[in-house]
Amino acid sequence: MATVYEGEMSTEPMKATIVKCLVPEANFKRVLLFNPPVYDTRFPWSKWQQPVTLLQLATLLKRDQCDVRLIDALYRKWDESLIRRRVDILNRGEVSVYYWRYGQLKNELVAQLENWNKEGWQPDDVYLEGFTTYRWKGVVEAIDLIRKMFPDARVILCGAYASLATEHAATYSGADIVVTEEIEGLAGLPLDFSLYPSRPSFAYLTIGTENRSSEDLIHEFLAKTKPVNQLERIGQFAFADHDVIRRYPEQFRSLLKEIIDRKIKVSFYAPGNIYARDLVDDPELASLLFRAGFKQLVFADDRELAPSEDAYEELLENYHHAIQHCIRAGYKPRTEAIVGSACIGRRGERIEERAAFMTKLAHVAGALIVVPYQPTPEECSSLNISLEYQNGKLFPFAEYNDVSFRKYQDILGLAAVLNTKYRSRTFDFLGDGLISRLVQSSLVSESWNPRNTPGIQNDRPVTVGWFNKEGKWVRS
């Protein structure tokens, strides 16, 4: 019996066939790859979204002589903004949160499907990737469009939605097949960008398996940075593999050394898949990253860490040494080049301890990103929370932690304060300089509040202003 979530009352049996692994039936088929639109309260880092699995699948299917086409509802040129439309308002206690649809408009997606249909091109198979569980409505929308236009196509769903909310996906997505683990043959394959209307300026690299040779990875990279047509050159990269340095040390370092030896000018970014401990274990790694073109290091957050004071102190110590290595390598401290990450919203956490850790991390790392904890449906199974409300950005465990959603919003506000710039660098609220110590004293004594300052009468108006360039006081 499929799990029925709140607000989704249905007694329909599961329609999809659930398979653990899928071997694509590939030879000479017409295949559509569909990256669906996103339904979410926010869509941070949207420019870094690429359907890695689908683009690897394109490489595999084209090798088997398939006629492959792609619809990426999230595709746009690097200098364009992603279209969004408000579709609902979600209530979290006393707070109303806008719920958006991100991506190409539905009529644009329909027009693309209709054009292919008029050409006489109809897919035999359609693959979709449900990147996260709580964005399932985008998957349903895409499959509904496919069903109306190509009713005979076999629809295959993979990704986190299929693997973590399998019964929900099998019941509500409309897919024919739900793949819970993997599509065989993709590990280590390069991403095929030829299906896009124009070459993207950014690309993920994925190693995927320890069996992939360094030479093969380097060959893929060079094909993207030194193509025959320079208009197709890609200059910005990131690794899609989590914990990439520990899982694939040989391939990772071999590529970086090749870039340095060839003096290839590219920009790399680490979107949370490098740990501070990696730079502690290998003090020369920071220099290697800098010389290879890593422009920004966003270190992985602490969600995997056991919640103990000793563990957090050890993490801060790792950050301290890692940041020092980065500075010696050439990275500018207290800028966006080096960023620490803190996870909030886990079940059972104390929000005061999280706030204290964030403040210490900002002091050590110099810049901070707060990452809402994303639970699995299994973690939420006893709380009767509908799938879209399991969104980490809605902090589904807030009430369980005896904390309001608004207080979690305040924590996000704290992160913004901790990233406040002072002379182009983030201000160190725990620093030992004169300005830092004055701010600390002001916060403790609340001397920033005129009504609490000795010598000022409570009913006396406060004059606000600033010094202009000539040094004269200007009243506001």
167-203 pLDDT, tens digit per residue, is: 999 999 999 999 999 999 999 999 999 999 988 889 9
pTM of the model: 0.88
User: What local confidence, expressed as pLDDT, does residue 443 receive?
Assistant: 61
Q: Please state whether 466 falls in left (phi above 0), alpha (psi between -120 and 50) or beta.
A: beta
Sign, CA dihedral 51-56-58-59, equals positive
First to last CA, the chain: 66
Cβ atoms of residues 165 and 375 within 8 Å = no
Give the pLDDT band of residue 476 (cuts 50, 70, 90). Answer: very low
User: What local confidence, expressed as pLDDT, does residue 423 receive?
Assistant: 82
d(CA 254, CA 218): 8
On the question of pLDDT at 361 being above 90, the answer is: yes
Domain with CATH 3.40.50.280 in the chain: 1-199
Region 326-353 average pLDDT: 96
On the question of pLDDT at 434 being above 90, the answer is: no
On the question of pLDDT at 248 being above 60, the answer is: yes
d(CA 350, CA 344): 10
d(CA 148, CA 134): 24
Q: How many CB atoms lie within 10 A of CB 144?
A: 13
Which CATH superfamily groups domain 1-199? Cobalamin-binding domain (3.40.50.280)
Give the pLDDT band of residue 451 (cuts 50, 70, 90). Answer: low
User: What local confidence, expressed as pLDDT, does residue 475 receive?
Assistant: 58
Q: Which helix (H) or strand (E) holds 116?
A: helix 106-119
On the question of pLDDT at 442 being above 70, the answer is: no
